[in-house]
Amino acid sequence: MTLRPDLAAIAAHVAPGSRVLDIGCGDGALMAELESASGCDARGMELDGALVERCVSRGLSVVQGDANVDLANYPDKAFDYAILSQTLQTATRPDLILDELLRVGRRAFVSFPNFAHWRTRAALMFGGRMPVTRALPVSWYETQNIHHVTVDDFRELAKAKGAVIEQAWFFANESGIGASGANWRAEFAVFELSR
Amino acid sequence: MAPAGSSPVYHLPHPLPLDSGQALEGAQIAYETYGTLAEDASNAVLVCHALTGDQYLASPHPITGKPGWWERMVGPGKPIDTDRHFVICANVIGSCMGSSGPASLGPDGQPYAMRFPVITIRDMVRGLVALLDGLGIERLHAVVGGSMGGMQALSLAANWPERAARVLVIASTARHSAQNIAFHEVGRQAIMADPAWAAGDYYAGDARPDNGLAVARMAAHITYLSEAGLTEKFGRRLQDREAKGFGFDADFQVESYLRYQGSGFTRRFDANSYLYITRAMDYFDLAEEFGTEEHGGKLANAFAGTEARFCIVSFDTDWLYPTSESRHVVHALNAAGAKVSFVELSAPHGHDSFLLEHDQLDRVVKGFVEQ
């Protein structure tokens, strides 16, 4: 099974044998990869019960829970890595989630769709409507993405939170691109943070 | 009460120490097994039964002739696969299907009745652990239980953490709530208000407190079902009549159903056992067991340092042990750093859903037990 590019970048940079919490783990694709390829002890959290059932059915340890409230029960630094992939923009308070990530994990990976990508800018600029793009395919009234964020916004939030950006990866057209001009060139971004 | 069927019986070699401070002399445990124990005894799965369950997990009940209570879950090729696993189910201490309980004979040759010591969930599990010792099983591949069976699974995980590698708890709780205790008290009072109960000393006579036990079962049965499930099954439909009878016969189908449930139950269950087992459930509070004088009960303490994997399952329409209770257990396991899965499944039938057809439950159980 091929991982989504942002997940593949994360999988490639998690140290083998680590303890990992994947928040918003979906069907568990990343967890399965981390367990089988890297010998990690992977745990997951997912809101959607049907996805949790699929994860547990395939032998993964996943808790049905809401990252907005259920992260509070994990002890400090319980994990080597806390991972939040494509979920930050759905959180009630992304800033508080980021705090929790950096509390329960020694390091955190965060991936999100970049709202400042040129397609999004163009759609808004010339169409005058909320963008519906490859990266953000759902209409404004149905989307789970309630807090759109850009690469530069995220960098600023990380700084405000006292987090160190260890590494960052950017993607467009399903492949990696350089960091220069990432705020308008990247469809997706992945950050590795520590504090 | 008919005698137990042909279940093998394990005679405990030592008196069973109890939480009350007493010890049970000459205790015995009736059990059933399915499948074959591996040479290294690594494939054993212990399934713990609920309040009115018994060891007839996947084989016909000797009194009712009905299929085992979880035959849809346990058997060759089933989610708990007896082609791979050696599955054990034992009648709990205090019950009435061959294990020591109030109907058993005491040292003086007379039935214990109310002289039987009050037991706890942990006492039941202590008995099960003794049975595992007797069977030569040091570490279970998994312990599995629904409802009161889930309490036993949690108790085993907390008190004998080295005895199980996987712990699967379905539609259960780590403590009995005031509402849980209240419903049980209604049942106990119904039994004790029956003149035939005779302070528990009814075994020698002809009369048994069947009326009281039936009412206890009727009240409890309501808590096992959801309101929507009852409405769907019975609504306000009348039983075998065109119009209301203006009397106190079972006019409504739901009345007739409950009466049938109540009277059927008395044929296979001992009223005193019902008193003792409901008491044990009411006393259950795992956090309290692991509390300290300074800090009081903290559930996470019960699981400190555990290496077992846990899977907790709740049902959205279960109001007896609602999802919030399962979540409470999950939070404690997270705090203890345990490897835990949790899912709330959707099912229309309330607490009893864990015994009924549910494909998602099957997949979760299979996935967790096989992992």
Interface predicted TM-score (ipTM) of this complex, two decimals = 0.91
The mean predicted confidence, pLDDT, of chain A is 95
B167-223 pLDDT per residue, tens: 999 999 999 999 999 999 999 999 999 999 999 999 999 999 999 999 999 999 999
Residue in A62, A74, A75 closest to B341 by CB? A62
Region label for A133, one of left (φ > 0), alpha (ψ between -120 and 50) or beta (otherwise): beta
Distance CA B22, CA B15 (A): 10
Q: Which tokens sit at B104?
A: 């058993």
In a domain, A121, yes or no: no
In chain B, the residue whose alpha carbon lies closest to the alpha carbon of A66 is B327
- Whether A104 and A82 have beta carbons less than 8 Å apart is answered as yes
Domain B9-176+286-370 grouped into CATH 3.40.50.1820: yes
Å from A140 to nearest chain B CA? 29
Which chain B residues have a beta carbon less than 8 Å from that of A64?
342-344
Is the CB of A73 less than 8 angstroms away from the CB of B366? no
CA distance A54 to A39: 21
B-chain CB neighbours of A75 within 8 Å are 335, 337
* pLDDT tier at A174, thresholds 50, 70, 90: confident
- The CATH label, of 1.10.132.20, 3.40.50.300, 3.30.1490.20, 1.10.1740.110, for the domain at B180-279 is 1.10.1740.110
First and final CA of chain B: distance in angstroms? Answer: 42
Q: Rounded CA gap, B91 and B102, in Å?
A: 14
Residue of chain A nearest B339, judged by CA positions:
A61
Q: How confident is the model at residue A27 (pLDDT cuts 50, 70, 90)?
A: very high
**Which residues of chain B are in CATH 1.10.1740.110 domains?**
180-279
Taking an 8 Å cut-off on Cβ atoms, the answer to whether B343 and A52 are in contact is yes
% of chain B residues with pLDDT over 70: 97
Closest CA to B56 of B4, B93, B103: B4
Q: What percent of chain A has pLDDT over 70?
A: 99
pLDDT in tens, B232-272: 999 999 999 999 999 999 999 999 999 999 999 999 999 99
- Binned at pLDDT 50, 70 and 90, residue B294 comes out as low
Number of domains in chain A: 1
On whether residue A136 sits in a domain, the answer given is no
Listed in order, the ranges of chain B carrying CATH 3.40.50.1820 are 9-176+286-370
Extract the tokens encoding B302: 């019960």
Q: Do A52 and B334 touch (CB under 8 A)?
A: no
- Contacting A residues, span 49-88, partner chain B, CB-CB under 8 Å: 49, 52-53, 55-65, 70, 73-75, 78
Statement: residue B2 has pLDDT above 50: no
User: Is the model's pLDDT at B4 over the cut of 80?
Assistant: no
pTM for this predicted structure: 0.94
Among B16, B94, B29, CA closest to B55:
B29
Residue B295 has pLDDT above 90, yes or no: no
pLDDT surpassing 50 at residue B1: no
Active site residue B147: yes
CATH number of domain containing A67: 3.40.50.150
Does B324 lie at the interface with A, CB-CB under 8 angstroms? no
Residue B210 catalytic?
no
Helix residue ranges per DSSP H, chain B? 121-135, 148-159, 178-193, 210-224, 227-233, 253-266, 271-283, 286-289, 299-302, 323-335, 359-370
Residue A126 has pLDDT above 70, yes or no: yes
A97 closest CA partner among A189, A24, A152: A24
Greater pLDDT, B5 or B52? B52
- Report CB contact under 8 Å: A73, B368: no
Mean of all residue pLDDT scores within chain B: 95
Q: Does B342 touch chain A (CB under 8 A)?
A: yes
- Give the closest-approach CA distance of B371 to chain A in angstroms: 5
Option in A56, A70, A75 nearest B364 (CB) = A56
Containing domain of residue A101, as a range?
5-115+145-194
Q: What is the mean pLDDT of residues B96-110?
A: 96
